[in-house]
Structure 1
């Protein structure tokens, strides 16, 4: 296992400056409202589409920005710094469409990546089920061959931006008689497909502006040309996808943590107790120093993993899992400390810290719990 250096270029920093301006001016003002009303932040979506940050990973040949993995992480990080729900727009678009980029044929890519790049459609990813979360190979959703078509039945759970997205990459068992894990295939399902519907919105702790719903399939007929990759290769494609997209969740976690730190620093410089700013107390300074160290360590891990994602390094699986695990743990710990620094104010909705703390929790859970990330890392280490 090797650790290759990465560098951010002038282009990367220009992207950071541009997306930060969009985030602060056109996304931050609506973050609390999206959380309070539990509504998809349409204003954020429109702002991201207008600036070409809604799906920056889409290659230029399909009309996309062609951003590399590190640039995409910077976009997600900067949006998450002000609104975690809005950062799921570029993150989920990448998660949903990356299987096509990894394994789809030319016609499939052109058909679905082009409207995604134009902001005319959004993409979601459907892997988990009620009884198949960490154990993805135990899924029960079935796709049965019928001539050149496939007929899909079953359900998927915990699907981010469900109901908002127009397209869904869905994993389903296509050959129950084959070996477990090698009997799963991937398909693109369109929102308008007959027999495809959604469950009620989940009532969640955080990221309330990103709707999470079940997908329900009742005799949904899928044309054969919507198969992603070869039959039976679905789980392999899904796991390759997660190796790359765990890095984007790590970027989201870094953004949430940085946003909390920024608010905490501003507050302690203004708040006075015992006749002086509380920032002058050494105990507060130690907390801030530890928080800043943790954020920067997480950021460096994310950027190193993003560079490996771009190169397709053999050890991406380890580094992606490590970045996601560490950064999300940092986000949870740091947002909790930030709430503590604001005292009673931190516990109220007058300040964004309590929202950030709630939002941070999901980064330890989705795209593989942090316990699963540790399993991934351990297996990589034991394989040598």
Structure 2
């Protein structure tokens, strides 16, 4: 395999060690005019295509996309978004591909998923890390045939487990492996022609994880059932079975360190694909939902009143609308940084940012749609079809509310992503203990580009970054055994929530400085609203982290699980299925 190109520390990596590198995020990256024009064209084309082919309300009702929809997408190149034009692709940049998937999701989240998974986590995502050879040539051949691909990793026992119950047994003649097992929640499972399947291989007495690229037309593969989710109706996802599916040796991927005694998903090549790939199916739809909520809220507030007083005159309504605007701006800032930063800073390590982005954007989207559902009480919780029957505007808030909740789960449950992210940055303190900053970073170059209040927010981030880094280093010093520290899961979650607020505030301020560089203007106001609330969230997480007198959570949990005196809580309740 080709070794990874050498990367240099990115903004978030420096922040974890107490340094706020304003020079890395300001001027905030933007698309070139030609790139934006190219993106505008593909977004307009896909919007027109969707309006002609997909009725999102019908998809939600039937949990089924129109017959031939994915084939039509493939014919238009929507499964080859970043492939070169000369190879039949659309030749899009990463950010233009993100913009296109976000546009699709704004019409139907389900319609966006197949192309998002194929692009971010399918077989094509592995081509850049493969050396020239049999595997790369084979994947290129299969993808050139127009096969839709997906990532088959999760099993009924849960994705978080290091081991994989799916087994791969070497063929007697050494030509390949027979893969057997079960996978669940596999997006594109019902429509994929090519799947990346994780399985355990026993070699020299040690269980190793290997990745097998399975042609789903081969004998032994079957779709056991299609999943129906709380939201995301129509998303192609299935429970898959593999019964001695033969995979030639040339379609097997392995790296050093991929065994069940270690966290094999942290192999750098695989980790980068995983975190970058989740920008498309998770972050893009979440941003679309936030933007839709802004539109619905404005239309609703402008036309509604209470006892003759317009909604827009009420303090709490103003706060809800302002919070939604500010948080959508924050989601956009994080997404743009993650997708555009490498163009402006070649070789920068964006893995830490992209790990955090999944939670930042999906959790923020959830807060926005949750507020919007309450704000639009007269046209919120009720389904769009029910509204239409009584003559009300059929806003699909309820549908996107369910979809937004699903985005917090897909691609990794939110609290586990927090734990995972904190584990990753603490590992950097163990394995590469760079000096931790002792004083806040100097920010003289930021002064004139930010309002007075936003300058104060930036100074806050610089000071908190130092305190945060010292706290992390102190934890590492007091726990020489990393695994011992990592058992303190809630502490890790709180640490990561502080990191996400500091990171998000930094990007919001940098983008505000770019859009309103004189220190005044609507974007500066948005940044102030967001940063004020982010400081409250960070302070709450810090207070919880600092508590020494804590409730007996483990004791209460054990008392319930083992029937020690709390059964009265189920009184008068039917629990049979």
Q: TM-score, normalised by structure 1?
A: 0.88
**1:232 Cα shift?**
7.1
- Aligned equivalent of 1:10: 33
Q: Does 1:244 align with 2:271?
A: no
Cα deviation for residue 34 of structure 1 reads 0.9
Aligned to 1:31: 56
Post-superposition shift, 1:132?
3.3
Indicate the structure (1 or 2) with the bigger Cα radius of gyration: 2
Q: Distance in 2 between matches of 1:176 and 1:140?
A: 15
1:322 pairs with 2:356 = yes
Distance 1:177 1:156, change over 3 A: farther
Which is further off, 206-215 or 246-255? 246-255
Q: Give the number of equivalent residue pairs.
A: 377
1:174 is paired with a residue of what secondary structure?
Answer: strand
Distance, in Å, in 2 between the alignment partners of 1:25 and 1:280 is 37
Q: Is the 8 A contact 1:23 1:82 kept in 2?
A: no
User: Counterpart in 1 of 2:194?
Assistant: 167
Shift of the 141–60 alpha-carbon distance from structure 1 to 2, 3 Å rule, reads: farther
User: How far is 1:265 from its partner?
Assistant: 2.0
Specify whether residues 343 and 202 from structure 1 end up closer, same or farther in structure 2 by C-alpha distance, changes over 3 A only: same
Provide Cα deviations, 1:56-89, integer angstroms capped at 9, x if missing partner.
1334564322322222211122222221111112
Give the drift of 1:297. Answer: 0.7
Query: Tell me, what secondary structure is at the counterpart of 2:55?
Result: helix
Structure 2 Cα separation of the partners of residues 175 and 20 of structure 1: 47
Residue 232 (structure 2) aligned to one of 177, 190, 207? 207
Matching of residue 139 in structure 1 with residue 164 in structure 2: yes
1:220 to 245, 258, 269: 245
Distance 1:288 1:20, change over 3 A: farther
Instruction: Give the C-alpha shift of residue 2 in structure 1.
Output: 3.0
Bigger Cα displacement from structure 2, 40-49 vs 61-70: 40-49
d(CA) in 1 for partners of 2:39 and 2:321?
Answer: 24
SS at 1:175 equivalent: strand
Does 2:377 correspond to 1:343? yes
Q: Hey, what's the Cα distance between the residues in 1 that align with 2:186 and 2:30? A: 34
1:355 lines up with 2:402 in the alignment: no
Establish whether residue 64 from structure 1 lines up as the match of residue 100 from structure 2. no
Over aligned residues, Cα RMSD in angstroms?
Answer: 2.6
Deviates more, 1:88-97 or 1:38-47: 38-47
Q: What aligned pairs does 1:1-384 form with structure 2 within 5 A after superposition?
A: 1-3=9-11, 4-5=24-25, 6-27=29-50, 30-42=55-67, 45=70, 48-49=73-74, 51-60=76-85, 62-94=87-119, 95-97=121-123, 98-103=125-130, 105-115=135-145, 120-135=146-161, 137-146=162-171, 147-175=174-202, 183-228=208-253, 235=265, 236=267, 237-248=269-280, 249-275=282-308, 277-307=310-340, 313=347, 315-350=349-384, 351-382=395-426, 383-384=428-429
Give per-residue Cα distances to partners, 1:148-175, cap 9 Å, x unaligned.
1210000111101221122111111123
Matched with 2:556 is: none
Give the distance between the partners of 2:147 and 2:224, measured in 1 at CA.
20
Structure 1 SS opposite 2:240: strand
Q: Is the 8 A contact 2:130 2:136 kept in 1?
A: no
Q: Is the 8 A contact 1:242 1:367 kept in 2?
A: no
CA distance in 1, matches of 2:411, 2:108: 19
Q: In 2, distance between residues paired with 1:122 and 1:188?
A: 12
Extract unaligned runs of 5+ from structure 1. Answer: none
Report the secondary structure of 1:138's partner residue: coil
Unaligned runs of 5+ in 2: 1-8, 12-23, 259-263, 385-394, 430-577
For residues 399 and 347 of structure 2, the distance between their equivalents in structure 1, rounded to whole angstroms, comes to: 36
Offset at 1:360? 0.8
Say which SS state the counterpart of residue 368 (structure 1) adopts.
coil
Cα distance in 1 between the residues matched to 2:163 and 2:250: 26
Normalised by the length of structure 2, the TM-score is: 0.60
Distance 2:371 2:83 in 1: 37
Q: Which moved more, 1:96-105 or 1:203-212?
A: 96-105
Please give the per-residue CA displacement for 1:227-259, whole angstroms capped at 9, x wherever unaligned.
Answer: 235687584354332121122222221122212
Question: What CA distance in whole angstroms lies between the structure 1 residues aligned with 2:319 and 2:381?
Answer: 22
SS of 2:218 mapped into structure 1: coil
Query: Measured at CA, do residues 93 and 381 of structure 1 come closer, stay the same or move farther in structure 2, by a change above 3 Å?
Result: same
SS class of match (1:153) = strand
